[in-house]
């Protein structure tokens, strides 16, 4: 589990083909790997990956074709958001994030508004029902609060700190981003479905 509070920006230095899969060499100089062991999880642009080899300041992670098919931002050298898996004693500064991407969104607007930035993202229709005003959304691993939702498009406000310390600063119109919805929405939907099924069975 993660919190969506990015701990550092790293860099994919090398992408190695392994059949239909890939292996990533990631520079985690700013993250620090002293407390990371082989087998530990690290969120890379919001995708939970396993550290398979560690040679500080680098770690390596294997990414399957199945993961590549449902995520973005892992298949070429570029800056990436990094977060170590949370400990039970950690503060939950963002919201509970699994690192399992629910869909790929598209940036439709990204502009400065005073000292902050307005980011608008069109979400896949299948998951837009889970996105609510004032609710939480994870964009490329960053925990954000939804400002508004109109049909499949939602907006968030990025404060200067978020811009300065995450890769969201590099976004452009039409860019693809990893989205993970708030897990609470899934449980609410499931409870509602269960209640309907129970009512229909009686």
Rounded CA-CA distance 18/173 in Å is: 32
pLDDT higher than threshold 90 for residue 139: yes
Q: Which of 52-61, 72-81, 87-96, 145-154 has the lowest mean pLDDT?
A: 87-96
Rounded CA-CA distance 166/136 in Å is: 17
Which has the higher per-residue pLDDT, 116 or 199?
A: 116
Domains of the chain: 8-84 (2.40.30.20), 103-184 (2.40.30.20)
pLDDT higher than threshold 90 for residue 106: yes
pLDDT higher than threshold 90 for residue 71: yes
pLDDT higher than threshold 80 for residue 105: yes
Rounded CA-CA distance 107/105 in Å is: 7
% of the chain beyond a pLDDT of 70: 100
Return the structure tokens found at 13. Answer: 């230095």
At residue 179, the pLDDT reads: 98
pLDDT tens sequence across 7-35: 999 999 999 999 999 999 999 999 999 99
- The model's pTM is 0.92
pLDDT higher than threshold 90 for residue 195: no
For the chain, the average pLDDT equals 94
Q: Are 83 and 42 in contact (CB under 8 A)?
A: yes
pLDDT higher than threshold 90 for residue 194: no
């Amino acid at each position: 589990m993660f919190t969506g509070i990015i701990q550092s920006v790293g860099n994919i230095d090398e992408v190695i083909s392994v059949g239909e899969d890939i292996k990533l060499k990631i520079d985690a100089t700013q993250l620090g790997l002293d407390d990371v062991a082989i087998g530990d999880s690290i969120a890379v642009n919001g995708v939970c990956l396993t550290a398979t080899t560690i040679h500080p300041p680098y770690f390596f992670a294997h990414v399957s074709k199945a993961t590549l098919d449902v995520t973005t931002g892992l298949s070429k050298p570029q800056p990436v958001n990094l977060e170590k898996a949370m400990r039970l004693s950690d503060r939950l500064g963002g919201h509970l994030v699994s690192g399992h991407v629910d869909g790929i969104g598209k940036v439709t607007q990204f502009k400065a508004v005073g000292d902050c930035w307005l980011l608008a993202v069109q979400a896949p229709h299948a998951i837009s029902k889970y996105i609510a005003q004032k609710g939480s959304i994870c964009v490329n691993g960053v925990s954000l609060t939804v400002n508004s939702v109109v049909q499949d498009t939602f907006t968030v406000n990025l404060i200067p700190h978020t811009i300065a310390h995450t890769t969201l600063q590099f976004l452009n119109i039409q860019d693809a981003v990893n989205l993970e919805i708030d897990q609470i929405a899934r449980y609410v939907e499931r409870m509602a479905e269960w209640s309907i099924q129970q009512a229909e069975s009686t």
